[in-house]
Amino acid sequence: MKKLSMIFMFLMLATMSVFAKSVGIAMPETHVLRWIKDGESLVKEVEKRGYKGLLQYGNADQAQQNQQIQSFLTQGAKILIVGNVNDGVVSVVNEAARDKVVVVAYDRIIQGTTNYSAYITFNNYKVGTLQGQAIESALNLGAATTAAPKYITLFAGSPTDANANFFYQGAMDVLNPYIKKGVLKVIGPYPETYKDTANFQRIATENWSGTLAKTRMENLLNNDAAKITLDAVLAPNDTLGRAIIEACKADAKYKSKLPVVTGQDAEFDSALSIKNGEQYMTVFKDTAKLSEAAVILADAIANGKTPEIPGAILAEGDLKEIGYTGTGYVPAYLLDPIGVTKENIIIPVNAGFYTAEEAAKLK
């Protein structure tokens, strides 16, 4: 009997020791391909540090992600790394806080509470600036005239994702002066800033859905943009960029020349599109660096140490807003994004961002 209880005790301790060092990794979706890579990188990074990684994808459904997070808590996870779908995540974040579990918001701020440890992302305002500057240079807006204006239509990311506001503002702070001068004309709704919520909602794309973006682009081509030729489309990420290009390619007007279409995430399909002269640019956010930084951050907080994140800056001054949750501020650490066009597509390739097979197709 004694031997049996000893074995039982050993098994209990072994199980607890495994789960006590578990990290719950909740990614929002997989229809935007980059999150698959993020989840895999995060598991690798936590395992490097002796943790067990519990990974789930939320299928763009916050209720489903909340159940996944509650399951992590039940399994005894002491750290959560969360890329949320929307602010419905607050209820489980508060549950985790009550259990003294470290919660790090991953590349999407958790809005509606400051009841968590930190936020790690890229300089999302700079992501937008890079998109705006790409359009500025591709259209040579500095030399554009009111007699022969350039035409653009605007898309934004999901209205439930605060990042979408910063992407948009970064781009429009570059483009607004040209619109004011009358050398760049907007076709369709024109929110000067994301704070023009009525118009912003009209260009936003629920859950970053490529299907919704393609339908909206088709409607624009057949209506508002029917009588002109678009020179550019502001697309906030690669999923939307590729969907917009698909719609344009079906319109005879763009058979020989597509509008300048932006993107973000350096997804392979978009990198290939850029190499083939279709999508104009993307923004490379090295998620291997982001996942490493997120785990270093979470591990430091869990061990009561001051986080030292290689390559990251703390969001302060003009960038402080990136850490605003709607109810207050959390420490936000920002990595540096890189604008990528056909000329420097080798950057994500050399960073090892793609598989060997994919990389071979981009060289």
Binding site for ligand GAL (CB under 6 A): 32, 34, 107-108, 157, 161, 163, 208, 237, 264-265, 285
Specify whether the CB–CB gap between 38 and 107 falls below 8 A: yes
- Token pair 């979470």 in the structure block, residue: 298
When CB distances to ligand GAL are compared, the closest residue is: 32
Query: Which of residues 24 and 128 has its CB atom nearest to ligand GAL in the complex?
Result: 128
CA 72 to chain centre: 23
Query: Which of residues 161 and 231 has its CB atom nearest to ligand GAL in the complex?
Result: 161
Query: Which of residues 56 and 75 has its CB atom nearest to ligand GAL in the complex?
Result: 56
Query: Which of residues 169 and 264 has its CB atom nearest to ligand GAL in the complex?
Result: 264
- Three-state SS for 161-208 is CHHHHHHHHHHHHHHHHHHHHCCEEECCCCCCCCCCHHHHHHHCCHHH
Which one, of 198, 195, 191, lies nearest residue 175 by Cα? Answer: 191
Query: Which of residues 115 and 237 has its CB atom nearest to ligand GAL in the complex?
Result: 237
- Token pair 């098994």 in the structure block, residue: 11
Q: Beta partners for 211?
A: none
At closest approach, how far in Å is the CB of 320 from ligand GAL? Answer: 18
At closest approach, how far in Å is the CB of 84 from ligand GAL? Answer: 9
Which one, of 10, 71, 72, 68, lies nearest residue 46 by Cα? Answer: 72
Query: Which of residues 230 and 322 has its CB atom nearest to ligand GAL in the complex?
Result: 322
At closest approach, how far in Å is the CB of 264 from ligand GAL? Answer: 5
Specify whether the CB–CB gap between 46 and 52 falls below 8 A: yes
At closest approach, how far in Å is the CB of 132 from ligand GAL? Answer: 16
At closest approach, how far in Å is the CB of 177 from ligand GAL? Answer: 26
At closest approach, how far in Å is the CB of 33 from ligand GAL? Answer: 9
Q: Tell me, what DSSP letter sits at residue 326?
A: S
Report d(CA 20, CA 6) in Å as an integer: 21
